[in-house]
Amino acid sequence: MRRLTLFVALALLAVTAAAHASSVLLVGERDATLEDMLVRAGFTVCTGCGFYDVVIVNGDASIDASDLEQFIARGGNVALIGGAPYYLAGGQDLSSIEDWFGAWWYTNEPRCTYATAALDRPFGSCLNLGDIVAWSSCSWDGAAAIMSLEASASVVASWNSGRTFAFVHEYGRGRVYYQSQLGYGPCARDMFVDAVRWLAWQR
DSSP 19-30: T---EEEEEES-
Task: Tell me what pLDDT residue 4 has.
Answer: 35
Mark out the alpha helices in 90-126 (DSSP H runs): 98-101
Domain spans, the chain: 2-202
Are the C-beta atoms of residues 56 and 177 closer than 8 Å to each other? no
- H or E stretch including 107? strand 103-108
Mean pLDDT by 10 residues, the chain (203 residues): 42 42 84 88 83 89 90 94 93 95 91 88 88 78 86 93 94 94 75 90 57
Q: How does strand 144-149 pair with strand 103-108?
A: antiparallel
Of the chain, the end-to-end C-alpha distance in Å amounts to 24
Burial label, 157 (beta-carbon count in 10 A; 0-12, 13-18, 19+): buried
Domain 2-202 listed as CATH 3.40.50.880: yes
- H or E stretch including 198? helix 186-202
Alpha-carbon span 63 to 199, nearest angstrom? 20
- H or E stretch including 72? helix 65-73
Task: Tell me what pLDDT residue 202 has.
Answer: 52
Strand locations in 129-173, DSSP E? 132-135, 144-149, 154-159, 164-171
Task: Tell me what pLDDT residue 169 has.
Answer: 95
Q: How many helices (H) and strands (E) does the chain have?
A: 6, 11
Task: Tell me what pLDDT residue 141 has.
Answer: 67
